[in-house]
Structure 1
């Protein structure tokens, strides 16, 4: 969910494994010095050329969920360590994956039998309750089903040893979801089974803050009330780092980073009064001025492209008067943002990243 090289370098130094979906992702992780044994090719339906590359690089762990994939793997990468991805209830997640991936429990016997016939290795089971999941009970059913698959695999001679519990973790519900998952694992699996997970969103979301420049402003007057609002146009939008709005159902919250400096050198947060800058005398700060300080200004915020869908937020209020050249920032912009940015309308998908590390241990690992 975030291919940033510094993130990968840090996670690699911390000993993390990596879930990869393509040749490019596998290449990037290998180039970061990660051993092939720490990579799982977690794409149930793989491109043949990517699978050949994976085999050549010694990446053996991979998922599957259908018979056609088993035949493909037998022909190209027969030494693979396979994880049967099963269907789960992901109806309470932000991004549902079960409509595309996952074998039904009814199809498990056939898949295991074919894997046995082809002399392939079933190393474990994988599932994913959906990205941004919010229902902890989904883990209970998924882990129970995984136990069922383990038992079926053991009964026909396989020795599965790993359970991939997928991702879906977000900071808001992590404690509740993790507790439900731990309870289910304790109930159905012995400690000897290796448990792996894909907490990419949880790791990266809060690690990045996006700063955007206001490139244009349009004043809008309501003919009925005579009130003014503003349309702000930023140098980034839903075809760029705000792609998370469309693909990940996110709702980024704008905050003012800086606004235009006046001739007196002070930042101007709202109106034209010096009192609003916070540097006025008590004589200047009348009740009328104090009232003006708390008056909210209505904005809508848009991206730079010519597409009308390029809207970051339809309504945002702020006491600050924002104009061209000012900067807004958005927190929690590390997951499913940069990785899905495009160059639509000729706008760049390359943006400057400023790294700040406040933890001595991480700084040492990164060489900062």
Structure 2
């Protein structure tokens, strides 16, 4: 059955060991070439299983709480829920999505730093009590709308090399923590822990050392006020690299053993988002228009390496920053396009730029790259597109949202069984033979 992103039903193709992600992409492109060239994702949900095993091997007993805003597709949420992962939600809609999976309120944290009163009331009604707070106005708003709330004080980190502006915007100081505790006492609100966040662009692991030390100070401060704190949230910032995960663990483990030993009763949690989903999704887009310019001004350095009569190509694709590349508006694209069609190794490469379909000046996806000459109708592949690309998207100019094809290998499916997969999740799986027939109409199913 073919569905759309807003559909509740979905299927996961179980691939025999002889079938690969490339086979799935080839099959989907073949189908779309004949039925309408629409952008689509292929999500390898088996990678979520592998990432969870990796997390347990390196970071246990730190429990992951997945930020739903990172990728809110049901296939992802249901697999992660089956694996016993908690969820960090930033809105009412995200809380509702997670609740529909049967996740208990104890495994949900409301993490939006600027909460709407109506959504705080929704959390209260749903029994979602744990939420973050970093200022007295927010605390008073929570006290009015959710008297049973249990707060994590969000403290700022000293990351001056990466998201300095973001850290100034969210998170409170140690000095202000005392004021917040006084306010919490006055309003009868519980404070149960501390949260901090280190950006995944931060290169200085010393930031973790300062943050954990500051958290210990807040815990000590809480004892003076009679608060029983038992949660430390070390936030996100995990890139998905096993090396980075091991480096972070190497830095934080000794401090956690000293400041928050097991006998202290403090539960350490984290919010890995792109760690789980970034590498799990591949996006395929189609070239819908093309321009050729021989006299276009190029970025510094490029003009000097090309012949004056060498063409410069501008390609327009059927997805852009008002869709799957929305994160491009605030950060650099962390993936490069790969040409799907086969071309000769010695085929000339030309300076090219990629744009979305909106004709908006902001809708530039890749400013400058080298590609063989392509034609309208050719396909480009983008890896590592699972993070921050699969939430609510604009329908600018009525361009359709990409379809999603879920897959998983049998070996990963076996790992799912070992993790305690439920019969409810099993209904979404179906078998895909190793010899994929390109003409099959219902080989893969799409969903949101």
TM-score by length of 1: 0.86
Match of 1:142 in 2: 211
Match of 2:340 in 1: 257
356 and 164 in structure 1: CA distance in 2 versus 1, 3 angstrom threshold: same
Q: Which runs of 5+ in 1 are unaligned?
A: 259-266, 270-275, 277-291
Separation in structure 1 between the aligned mates of residue 373 and residue 236 of structure 2, nearest angstrom? 41
Q: Give 1:237 shift.
A: 1.0
Match of 2:374 in 1: 322
Match of 1:283 in 2: none
Separation in structure 1 between the aligned mates of residue 392 and residue 364 of structure 2, nearest angstrom? 16
Provide the alpha-carbon RMSD of the alignment: 2.0
Match of 2:385 in 1: 333
Match of 1:208 in 2: 281
Match of 1:286 in 2: none
Separation in structure 1 between the aligned mates of residue 235 and residue 165 of structure 2, nearest angstrom? 13
Match of 2:91 in 1: 22
Separation in structure 2 between the aligned mates of residue 249 and residue 187 of structure 1, nearest angstrom? 38
Q: Give 1:178 shift.
A: 3.0
Q: Give 1:33 shift.
A: 1.3
Structure 1 residue 351 corresponds to structure 2 residue 383: no
Structure 1 residue 91 corresponds to structure 2 residue 166: no
Match of 2:349 in 1: 296
Q: Is the Cα contact below 8 Å between 1:93 and 1:129 reproduced in 2?
A: no
Q: Give 1:340 shift.
A: 5.6
Structure 1 residue 361 corresponds to structure 2 residue 408: no
Match of 1:8 in 2: 77
Q: Is the Cα contact below 8 Å between 1:248 and 1:336 reproduced in 2?
A: no
Separation in structure 2 between the aligned mates of residue 91 and residue 27 of structure 1, nearest angstrom? 36
User: 1:62 aligned to 131, 136, 148, which one?
Assistant: 131
Q: Give 1:194 shift.
A: 0.2
Separation in structure 1 between the aligned mates of residue 137 and residue 323 of structure 2, nearest angstrom? 36
Secondary structure at the counterpart of residue 78 of structure 1:
coil
Separation in structure 2 between the aligned mates of residue 95 and residue 7 of structure 1, nearest angstrom? 31
Name which one, 1 or 2, has greater alpha-carbon Rg.
1
Match of 2:246 in 1: 175
Separation in structure 1 between the aligned mates of residue 160 and residue 385 of structure 2, nearest angstrom? 24
Separation in structure 2 between the aligned mates of residue 362 and residue 238 of structure 1, nearest angstrom? 36
TM-score by length of 2: 0.71
360 and 233 in structure 1: CA distance in 2 versus 1, 3 angstrom threshold: same
Match of 2:15 in 1: none
Q: Is the Cα contact below 8 Å between 1:243 and 1:340 reproduced in 2?
A: no
Q: Give 1:346 shift.
A: 3.3
User: 1:160 aligned to 229, 249, 260, which one?
Assistant: 229
Separation in structure 2 between the aligned mates of residue 131 and residue 239 of structure 1, nearest angstrom? 24
| More divergent stretch after superposition (89-98 vs 75-84) | 89-98
What is the 5 A alignment of 1:91-130?
91-93=160-162, 97-130=166-199
What is the 5 A alignment of 1:262-281?
269=343, 276=344
Separation in structure 2 between the aligned mates of residue 317 and residue 249 of structure 1, nearest angstrom? 17
* Equivalent pairs, count: 336
User: 2:120 aligned to 51, 54, 57, which one?
Assistant: 51
User: 1:186 aligned to 254, 257, 260, which one?
Assistant: 257
Match of 2:361 in 1: 308
Q: Is the Cα contact below 8 Å between 2:349 and 2:373 reproduced in 1?
A: no
